[in-house]
Amino acid sequence: MNKMTRFLIIRYSGLGDLVMLLPTLRKLKTHYPDSTVTLLTDTSNRDFAKLSCGLINDTICVNRKVFKQKHFVAAAKEIIAMLFKIRKRFDIVIDFQSFGETATISYLSNAKEKWGAEKKSKYNYGYTDLVPYDTSGHRSQLFARIAKVDESLSRPKICLTQNSELFRQAIAAKLDQSKPTIGLNIGSTSESRRWSEQNFFQLASDLSERYTILVFIGPLEQQYKEVFKDFAIVENTTLEQLCGAISLCSYFISNDTGPVHLAGALGIPTLTLFSTGEDENVGCLNPYKRALRKPDINAITVSDVSDELKALENDSCLFDTPLLSSKYHTQ
């Protein structure tokens, strides 16, 4: 009988990167069928494993907010608790984050093998196996090289949970079912990457004859809620609930942020609006997608987005889109 290989994978943030990591984990599980995968991540991603279709078996969470806020006592407690959970428990540690902090965690894990990317040579002590930190190509391909698996591009897959399905049904009951639903995700991690609420409102108004509009509002955009009072809104959700609501959409238009990657992994055609990023580097890994990019994201006009949506509608007619909304995964 083959010995089970115990993996610890490290990726703190962000949500989109975790989605982009899923193809690598699927290939890793193929190479090591007798294996378990534990994810070390930020507390904000604590439920991600439930959506990974069984690729992630367990999660260890770190509240990195206390580090950013310089709460030294709380930070020390987080470190001690985390080291207690990882010390001498794993055969192979794979650091997909490439921080100095995560190099130290890798080193202190005392795993026999520790894989990472050489971002700064002073952190090389943390690893037994290194690849160059080469960010050319798609980010998922760097992840694959670190994990020593095939780096060909492939689509991630998200499995809805029972909680996702229940929330999906609750939202669906409030929507006009006579028209297809289009999701508009107005949130972003930074202001420079956020297409304005005025633009999204105008787009929603223009599309409302053909589509039922479902507006996704993140925690940083609560002040814009009143702008969209005439449309259905999704807010203050868990990660499982967010996926359930996204799965209702026929199309999903979003800034470059985590929810658009979830939509792509659910098989939903996506249109991503970029400012700093590039679709070929960090875009969704799904065949049903379009992207627009301008350094000043608000230089992208509503007309630009409408035209690109029409092209996406034509593109997606060529595919049999395998939405996952009717099935859920339990662990």
Counting residues of the chain whose pLDDT is more than 90, the rounded percentage is 79
CA distances from 285 to 44, 193, 241, 274, 314 (A): 23, 20, 22, 15, 19
pLDDT of residue 78: 80
Q: What is the C-alpha end-to-end distance of the chain, expressed in Å? A: 25
pLDDT of residue 325: 34
- Band the pLDDT of 1: cuts 50, 70, 90: very low
pLDDT of residue 318: 60
pLDDT of residue 69: 67
Convert the pLDDT of each residue in 150-186 to its tens digit. 999 999 999 999 999 999 999 999 999 899 999 999 9
Counting residues of the chain whose pLDDT is more than 70, the rounded percentage is 95
Residue 108 has pLDDT above 60, yes or no: yes
Convert the pLDDT of each residue in 278-331 to its tens digit. 999 999 999 899 999 999 999 999 999 999 999 999 987 765 444 433 333 333
Neighbouring CB atoms inside 10 A of 92's CB total 23
HSE toward the beta carbon, residue 103, CA cutoff 13 A:
18
CA distances from 214 to 205, 207, 252 (A): 12, 11, 9
Reported pTM: 0.92
Residue 65 has pLDDT above 90, yes or no: no
pLDDT of residue 322: 41
Helix (H, G, I), strand (E, B) or coil at 8: strand
All structural domains of the chain, each given as residue ranges with its CATH number in brackets, are 5-146 (3.40.50.2000), 162-316 (3.40.50.2000)
For range 30-52, the mean pLDDT: 95
Residue 54 has pLDDT above 60, yes or no: yes
Convert the pLDDT of each residue in 128-146 to its tens digit. 999 999 999 999 999 999 9
pLDDT of residue 326: 31
- Band the pLDDT of 3: cuts 50, 70, 90: confident
